[in-house]
Amino acid sequence: MTKKVFVEKEQLEEIVQQYPTPFHLYDEKGIRENARKLNAAFSWNKGFKEYFAVKATPTPAILQILKEEGCGVDCSTYTELMMADALGFKGDEIMFSSNVTPKEDFQFARKLNATINLDDITHIDFLEEAAGLPETVSCRFNPGGEFTINNEIMDKPEDAKYGFTRPQLTEGFKKLMAKGVKHFGLHSFLASNNVADEYYPILAGILFQTAVELKEETGADITFINLSGGIGIPYLPEQKAADVAKIGEGVRKAFEEILVPAGLGDVAIYTELGRYMLGPYGCLVATAIHEKHIYKDYIGLDASAVNLLRPAMYGAYHHITVMGKEDQPADHKYDVTGGLCENNDKFAVNRMLPKIDIGDLVVIHDTGAHGFSMGYNYNGKLRSAEILLKEDGGTEMIRRPETPADYFATFDFTGLFKDVK
């Protein structure tokens, strides 16, 4: 089975003439259309807002597109908050969800009037001492145990380092109320990259019921419930994409069955999606620069795990298209590699592909989220440019490629690299 690239070979060849490979390419049209589908799916909830997970794609131009589509931002660090501030996100347009949080991060979040989502009951006193408690506080719930859908284990929250236990939620809400907090949010994240349409409705049911119980136990004014992230994308070509309209309807049904009868019909629903918002609308464009035939057949690209870490770190599957050879038989078995001095620097292992020739353009799919953002500088490799394919068909460089001067910048005090460019 195949996946279609959102850019044609001829246009990509023109882009490569202007921006040498490797680079990440993003599809503005696809990003905007997807954001509108999500907003439409939850339009039944008057307070709905998507807070895009900045960690997935921390690129100002991308965040600006999502801002224009009505999204806020989910930040987890000081620098992500700085980016949100620089782009004009204000107050409750920023959700600050972090863990093992330095006091400076809490202080900056308070300065920006961001909504703070606490990860642990001990953070109540820590936040109060570091920056004072705001009138609205959210708490992250970890229900423990195993999370299952149709008797299949999706993930094990009990193994996750995040969140309050159920008893800690009640204790935490009461403690926060005693300290003057007036409004509350509830948040949970139970499984990653889940393409099952049932995931969000099941999660919503758990959170909605928990909110009802917390209201009864504490009398807290719960104003929003944050379903966080977790909606996945079909990395494999045979996988079915999640149906966001069906998901939204499933959440609405749970909302009306659980929250409305409990007098919580005005609760706003939030999401913190990253992969779902951007993943399919980005790809890594590389060139085949070497081939090797020993015990296996290898194709070496000018990209590496520096540009896309997920296959090396997780063994994650990313589909590969050899541009111009989509209709040729996939009758060659390759390991597709980068040039790092690590044997796990492989985009694909034993992958059946058309014959790849030196100079072929190779597109690695679904890198729009957790692609560039997970890059690093091992072996002194430099991170690539990011290019936006605009709605009108033009292109724009939205991040330049790193230079040796960037790499050596933290040694500027030594004078050793003052002439490096």
The CATH number that applies at residue 34 is 3.20.20.10
CB-based contact 362:356 (threshold 8 Å): yes
Check residue 152 and give its pLDDT. 60
**Number of domains present in the structure of the chain:** 2
Q: Same domain, yes or no, for 260 and 290?
A: no
> H or E element: which one contains 380?
none
- 351: helix, strand or coil: strand
Structural domain contains residue 3: no
Q: Same domain, yes or no, for 234 and 321?
A: no
Check residue 155 and give its pLDDT. 58
Half-sphere exposure of 82 (CA within 13 A, CB side): 5
Q: Same domain, yes or no, for 273 and 288?
A: no
Residue 381: name the closest of 310, 301, 324, 319 by CA: 301
| Residue 149: band (very low, low, confident or very high) from pLDDT cuts 50, 70, 90 | low
- Domain final residue, candidates 279, 298, 320: 279
317-356 residue pLDDT tens = 999 999 999 999 999 999 999 999 999 999 999 999 999 9
Structural domain contains residue 135: yes
Q: What is the mean pLDDT of residues 125-145?
A: 94
Looking at the DSSP bridge assignments, the partners of residue 164 are: 141
* CB count in 10 Å sphere of residue 339: 17
Q: Burial, 188: exposed, middle or buried (Cβ in 10 Å; 0-12, 13-18, 19+)?
A: buried
* Cα gap 18→80, rounded to integer Å: 30
Sign of CA dihedral 384, 341, 299, 351: negative
Q: Same domain, yes or no, for 254 and 292?
A: no
Amino acid residing at 170: T
Structural domain contains residue 213: yes
Q: Same domain, yes or no, for 286 and 274?
A: no
What is the percentage of the chain residues whose pLDDT exceeds 90?
Answer: 92
Q: Same domain, yes or no, for 271 and 298?
A: no
> Residue 363: which domain range?
280-412
Structural domain contains residue 23: no
Q: Same domain, yes or no, for 85 and 228?
A: yes
| Residue 194: band (very low, low, confident or very high) from pLDDT cuts 50, 70, 90 | confident
| 192: pLDDT strictly greater than 90 | no
- Domain final residue, candidates 279, 311, 338: 279
Residue with tokens 């136990």: 217
> H or E element: which one contains 39?
helix 28-41
Structural domain contains residue 130: yes
The residues, any chain, with a CB within 8 Å of residue 415's CB and separated by 6 or more, are: none
| 60: pLDDT strictly greater than 60 | yes
Based on DSSP, count helices (H) and strands (E) in the chain, helices before strands.
12, 19
Phi, psi angles (nearest 5°) of residue 164: -85, 145
Q: Same domain, yes or no, for 298 and 346?
A: yes
* Cα gap 43→131, rounded to integer Å: 35
* Cα gap 218→10, rounded to integer Å: 62
Q: Same domain, yes or no, for 208 and 138?
A: yes
Structural domain contains residue 12: no
In this structure, the strands spanning 385-389 and 94-97 are: unpaired
- Domain final residue, candidates 245, 279, 313: 279
Q: For position 331, which CATH number holds?
A: 2.40.37.10
The two three-digit tokens of residue 286, written as one number: 């590389």
197-210 residue pLDDT tens = 998 999 999 999 99
Structural domain contains residue 16: no
Q: Same domain, yes or no, for 260 and 380?
A: no
CA 281 to chain centre: 12
357-408 residue pLDDT tens = 999 999 999 999 999 999 999 999 999 999 999 999 999 999 999 999 999 9
CB-based contact 297:385 (threshold 8 Å): no
Structural domain contains residue 345: yes
Q: Same domain, yes or no, for 374 and 306?
A: yes
Is the model's pTM score more than 0.85? yes
